Amino acid sequence: MLKAKEDLQAEIGLLKVEKVVEVECFMQEKVEEVGSLQDALWKEEFISIGLKATLAMEEERRKEAKIKVIDLEARMVKLTSEAMAQVVKEFKASSKMWNLNVVFGQQAFIKGFKHYEGRVGQKFFELDLDFLEEEDPNQEVGPFDTMTNPTPTEPASYLPESTMEMPKPTQKPKVAKSIPNSSIAASLEVEGLE
């Protein structure tokens, strides 16, 4: 019994030593595994910090690029506006614009002349106004080939003296005796046109 007790105690001691060695080995493995995991975690955190910094720099570059695009668009609009103004200014000073103004003036004059010619014809229908008609209705007066100054800088003092005199009226205007309307009060009746 004593021997069996000693054998059992020796066997328990051996089992304890084996268990201790096994636990120590297991703990060593876990310590190494935890250390490896911590190293991997530190690497991941380092990479994450680097990526966050890169992302922040990229976002900053994107904001700067947007600001540059907005500035360039504003400059482009300003330059386009200035270029358009310059083109319009050059066109207004060109002979083509002068010719267009001449043609427009001629057309406006002819239209107004025809309008008042019709009114005069209606009012004084007994008058012969055939002398006012054009000789060749297909003939159009076009714009000048060379540009001249549209605004004279000097008064028309170069005209001969005889053309600058006003003709004297042959008949004296008479005031109408009966005035049906106050707006016509200042009108004069001219004899001899009837």
Select from 93, 118, 137 the last residue of a domain. 93
Q: Which domain holds residue 59?
A: 1-93
Residue 58: pLDDT above 90? Answer: yes
Distance, in Å, from the CA atom of 25 to the CA atom of 62, rounded to the nearest integer, reads 55
Residue 173: pLDDT above 70? Answer: no
In a domain, 111, yes or no: yes
- pLDDT, tens digit, 9 for 90 and up, residues 113-158: 888 888 887 888 777 777 766 655 565 555 544 444 444 444 444 4
Asked if residue 84 and residue 63 are part of one domain, the reply reads: yes
Q: Please name the helix (run of DSSP H) or strand (run of DSSP E) that holds residue 12, with its range, or none.
A: helix 2-93
Identity of the residue numbered 172: K
Q: What is the pLDDT of residue 174?
A: 47
Into how many domains does the chain fold? 2
Asked if residue 114 and residue 37 are part of one domain, the reply reads: no
Q: Is 21 helix (H, G, I), strand (E, B) or coil?
A: helix
Q: Token match 């304890």: residue?
A: 16
Select from 103, 128, 153 the last residue of a domain. 128
Asked if residue 117 and residue 57 are part of one domain, the reply reads: no
Among the listed residues 90, 89, 107, 91, the one whose alpha carbon sits nearest the alpha carbon of residue 143? 107
Contact 142/103 with Cβ under 8 angstroms?
Answer: yes
If you average pLDDT over residues 40-66, what whole number do you get? Answer: 94
Asked if residue 51 and residue 111 are part of one domain, the reply reads: no
Residue 181: pLDDT above 70? Answer: no
In a domain, 134, yes or no: no
In a domain, 194, yes or no: no
If you average pLDDT over residues 26-43, what whole number do you get? Answer: 91
Asked if residue 23 and residue 11 are part of one domain, the reply reads: yes
Residue 189 phi/psi, 5-degree rounding, is -100, 125
- pLDDT, tens digit, 9 for 90 and up, residues 103-119: 999 999 999 988 888 88
